[in-house]
Amino acid sequence: MARPKAFDPDQVLDKAMEMFWSRGYKNTSMQDLVDCMCINRGSLYDTFGDKHALYLKALNRYMEKNSIRMLAADDDGHPAREVIRGLLYHLAEEKNCDSDQRGCFITNTICELCSCDSDVAQTMQQGLARMQGALEEILEGGRRSGEFAADLDCHAAAGFFLNTIHGMQVMRKVQPDPAILKSIADQAVGILR
């Protein structure tokens, strides 16, 4: 009979996510993961599989948290335009909270692994589709309420904003001035009529 786990799998997965986010997949060793997760190697493999499987789980967790954050921003009853602007402004200001300059785990993964790892590419496609779906729900709410034109293609607009988000993530690594990033956000939100 197997012993019960002496750790919370979600908590240790969050620790692995933070490590991968800070160092990337290739620069993170199994020993780094064992050390940061504070579990033994056997428990790591038994619970999460190998490094690659753990990375995919950590990536999915990060993307799910971002989708939930997007949908939660819409629950406040604010106009959809302001919800979208708020999400983009949050990105513009987030750099100030990112003292390690990690950037975005999703954007970093796209740059590091998507061209050479089909499992990661597939995971990214699924996660980005969820995120686009969350944005689309926000935009559809605005269209239904009359805030946006009835002919707004919410799916295409959600794709545009998802790309804006990732473009801003890249831009803030080289141009971290929140005022410049907010002006980009304002231009993007300006397409909504």
Tell me the C-alpha to C-alpha distance, in Å, between residue 190 and each of 73, 109, 122, 165.
19, 29, 32, 15
Asked if pLDDT for residue 53 goes beyond 70, the answer is yes
**What pLDDT band is residue 3 in, cutting at 50, 70 and 90?**
low
The pLDDT, as a whole number, for residue 76 is 73
Integer distance in angstroms from the first to the last C-alpha of the chain? Answer: 62
Please give the C-alpha separations between residue 33 and each of 4, 5, 6, 21, 180, in angstroms, as whole numbers.
21, 17, 17, 12, 37
Q: pLDDT digit string (tens) for 64-90?
A: 887 777 777 766 788 999 999 999 999
Backbone angles phi, psi at 87, to 5 degrees: -60, -45
Task: State if pTM tops 0.75.
Answer: yes
Confidence of residue 32 (pLDDT cuts 50, 70, 90): very high
> Span 29-39, mean pLDDT?
97
Which of the pair, 102 or 92, is modelled with greater confidence?
92
Q: Are 180 and 103 in contact (CB under 8 A)?
A: no
For residues 11-29, average pLDDT: 96
pLDDT (average), residues 152-174: 94
Is the predicted pLDDT of residue 59 greater than 90, yes or no? yes
Confidence class for position 22, pLDDT limits 50, 70, 90: very high
Percentage of residues of the chain with pLDDT beyond 90:
73
Q: Which domains, ranges and CATH numbers included, belong to the chain?
A: 59-189 (1.10.357.10)
Question: What mean pLDDT is predicted for residues 119-123?
Answer: 95
